[in-house]
């Protein structure tokens, strides 16, 4: 297979399969002889690049040559250096109002009293502090599949636990972020019922979480503390009794036909490789465009992983204020990295590099393809409730569990997660679809991958064809079709709120 040249001005092409040193291959209108072995997914130079000159992929700069690069050479970390983002912003220059689809799309969801729609029907046990995590887990473990046989409409009982809640300031950003995240889960439409459990003496008091929450139906919300109940065993027994009382009420929930505008999808990529920006991410982006046309919402996140590509988003901003909000977050992350002795290029990870990604600029340019081409309608802080429809951005770290936790807290009732190396991420109470960037990965991890975007690499499908298939899978999953991670029971340990501030 010939290497993929993504833009006529690119100085590199991407090997579809491993190329041996001395092998002559067709690229564009000519031929190139490989000077070294080129692993699959890695870059081969298609024209000379002088030392200090920009290396281009996707028609954009992904770094500069740290030494002269000749055609046919392997282009990677040994001869490409990082440069700071030099993005020029033209807020809203490419913004176009979304063309609304005339043919409605629907899925089978759980309509809630507040007008939102769930894609799953769980009961949640939410710990206010690490000290109550064991109680939450013991209670959840008591309601296994056998215990729920009489309640077929209940997907499970989930313990939402974490390592925070005390040893922190009693006010300020750190506590605000934690409480916002926990409230987002407590209010999530995929939870039909919720019990908040605390210790009693923690900084993050149960009362501060309960008071602002939306009202659920009678018998579908409760709160308790271990100290008030007389200890661990008494708290476990009380919480079990509360769950048993909730189960008949939760089982009354029924799926009904709802409009696709109620679908809110968190966009994730993890374990990316050289194919991510060519196959899975563009396919997901095209599916997002279709969803947005039908009134749905998509949340792009992972701010450090749009670094160097942020101009592609700000040019689509619905207003200058939206564009500036994203730029402000980029500057915050630059300062944050400097304060902690890091830099923005500490991402890509070793696995990303083994898969062919050289710099964060290259990774970001591929990552933003998940966002499709519609307007950027809003920028949200971490875990803030997403209220705008269409494509939005949420400021999160690039670390997938932390990022997805923020998206779910913001209201995502489905996660779409692209991967080139093989992530097996699950995310209760929200189902997570895994999209493989290449067919060998899909075949090797078939029990973990929900969708194969490798058909784009092999030419079996166009991006548009694959996007329609993916959108249908998204609707089917929202309607109850189980993902691979759900079939394997993943998702109980992936609640990881962003921890900011000092641990005292």
Residue 30's pLDDT band, with cuts at 50, 70 and 90, is confident
pLDDT of residue 2: 84
Strand order from edge to edge, sheet including 297-300: 376-380, 390-394, 297-300, 264-269, 414-419, 432-436, 451-452
Tokens linked to 210: 């309960």
Token pair of 130, please?
Answer: 């690490």
Residue 211: which pLDDT band, with cuts at 50, 70 and 90? confident
**Which tokens in the block code for residue 471?**
């959108």
- Cis previous bond, 176, omega within 30: no
Q: What is the pLDDT of residue 216?
A: 82
Give the three-class secondary structure for 473.
helix
Q: What confidence score (pLDDT) does residue 345 get?
A: 76
- 174 has a pLDDT exceeding 90: yes
The predicted pLDDT at position 502 comes to 84
Which candidate, 494, 284, 344, places its Cα nearest to that of 405?
A: 494
In this predicted structure, what is the pLDDT of residue 207? 93
Task: State the pLDDT at residue 55.
Answer: 95
Q: Buried (b) or exposed (e) across 44-76, using 16+ Cβ within 10 A? A: bbbbebeeeeebbbbebbbbbbeeebebbbbbb
- The backbone torsions φ and ψ at residue 395, rounded to the nearest 5 degrees and listed phi first, read -75, 115
Domains 12-81 and 122-250 share a fold: no
Residue 85, pLDDT > 80, answer no
In CATH, the number for domain 12-81 is: 2.30.130.110
The structural domains of the chain, with segments of one domain joined by +, span 12-81, 122-250, 258-487
- What are the pLDDT digits (tens) for 422-461? 999 999 999 999 999 999 999 999 999 999 999 999 999 9
- The mean predicted confidence, pLDDT, of the chain is 95
- At 301, list the tokens: 């996140």
pLDDT at position 91 is 94
What is residue 84's predicted lDDT score, i.e. its pLDDT?
77
Render pLDDT for 284-294 as a digit per residue (tens, 0 to 9).
999 999 999 99
Q: What percent of the chain has pLDDT over 90?
A: 89
Q: Mean pLDDT lowest for which of 26-30, 260-264, 346-350?
A: 346-350
DSSP bridge partners of 123:
157, 193
- DSSP letter (8 states) at residue 437: S
**Tens digits of residue pLDDT in 159-173:** 999 999 999 999 999
Q: What is the pLDDT of residues 224-237, one digit of tens each?
A: 999 999 999 999 99
CATH top class, domain 122-250: alpha beta
Residue showing tokens 């055609």: 71
Beta carbons within 10 angstroms of residue 422's beta carbon:
18
> In Å, what is the CA distance from 224 to each residue of 113, 175, 195, 211, 242?
24, 20, 8, 13, 10
Instruction: Give tens-digit pLDDT for 40-66.
Output: 999 999 999 999 999 999 999 999 999
Q: How confident is the model at residue 108 (pLDDT cuts 50, 70, 90)?
A: very high
> For the packed helices 133-142 and 232-250, what is the interaxial angle rounded to 10 degrees?
50
Q: Which residues pair with 419 in a beta bridge?
A: 436
pLDDT attached to residue 319: 97
């Amino acid at each position: 297979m010939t290497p993929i040249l993504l833009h006529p001005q690119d100085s590199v092409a991407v090997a579809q399969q491993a190329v041996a040193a001395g092998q002559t291959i067709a690229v564009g209108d000519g031929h190139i002889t490989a000077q070294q072995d080129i692993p699959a997914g890695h870059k081969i130079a298609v024209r000379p690049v002088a030392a200090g000159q920009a290396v281009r992929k996707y028609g954009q700069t992904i770094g500069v040559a740290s030494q002269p690069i000749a055609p046919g050479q392997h282009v990677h970390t040994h001869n490409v250096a990082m440069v700071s983002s030099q993005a020029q912003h033209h807020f809203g220059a490419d913004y176009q109002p979304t063309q609304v689809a005339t043919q409605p799309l629907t899925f089978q969801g759980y309509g809630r009293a507040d007008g939102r729609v769930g894609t799953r029907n769980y009961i949640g046990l939410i710990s206010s502090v690490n000290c109550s995590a064991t109680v939450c887990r013991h209670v959840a473990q008591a309601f296994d599949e056998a215990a729920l046989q009489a309640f077929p409409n209940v997907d499970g009982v989930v313990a939402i636990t974490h390592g925070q809640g005390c040893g922190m300031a009693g006010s300020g950003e750190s506590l605000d972020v934690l409480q916002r995240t926990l409230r987002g889960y407590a209010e999530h439409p995929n939870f039909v019922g919720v019990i908040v459990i605390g210790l009693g003496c923690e900084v993050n008091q149960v009362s501060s979480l309960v008071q602002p929450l939306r009202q659920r139906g009678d018998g579908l919300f409760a709160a308790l503390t271990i100290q008030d109940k007389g200890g661990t065993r008494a708290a476990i027994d009380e919480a079990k009794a509360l769950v048993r009382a909730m189960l008949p009420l939760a089982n009354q929930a029924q799926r009904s036909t709802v409009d696709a505008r109620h679908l809110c999808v968190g966009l994730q990529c993890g374990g990316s490789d050289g194919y991510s920006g060519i196959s899975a991410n563009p396919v997901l982006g095209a599916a997002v465009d279709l969803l947005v046309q039908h009134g749905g919402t998509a949340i792009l996140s992972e701010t450090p992983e749009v670094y160097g590509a942020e101009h592609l988003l700000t040019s689509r901003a619905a207003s200058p204020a939206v564009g500036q909000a994203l730029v402000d977050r980029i500057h915050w992350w630059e300062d944050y990295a400097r304060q902690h002795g890091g830099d923005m290029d500490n991402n890509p990870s070793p696995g990303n590099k083994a898969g062919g990604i050289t710099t964060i600029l290259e990774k970001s340019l591929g990552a933003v393809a998940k966002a499709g081409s519609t307007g950027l309608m809003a920028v949200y802080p971490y875990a803030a409730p997403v209220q705008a429809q269409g494509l939005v951005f949420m400021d999160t770290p690039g670390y997938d569990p932390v990022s997805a936790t923020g998206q779910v807290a913001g209201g995502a009732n489905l996660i779409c997660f692209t991967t080139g190396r093989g992530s097996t991420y699950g995310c209760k109470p929200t189902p997570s679809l895994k999209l493989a960037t290449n067919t060998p990965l899909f075949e090797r991890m078939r029990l973990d991958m929900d969708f194969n975007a490798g058909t784009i690499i092999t030419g079996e499908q166009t991006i548009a064809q694959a996007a329609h298939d993916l959108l249908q899978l998204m609707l089917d999953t929202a309607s109850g079709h189980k993902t691979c991670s759900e079939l394997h029971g993943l998702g109980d340990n992936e609640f990881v709120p962003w921890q900011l501030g000092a641990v005292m």
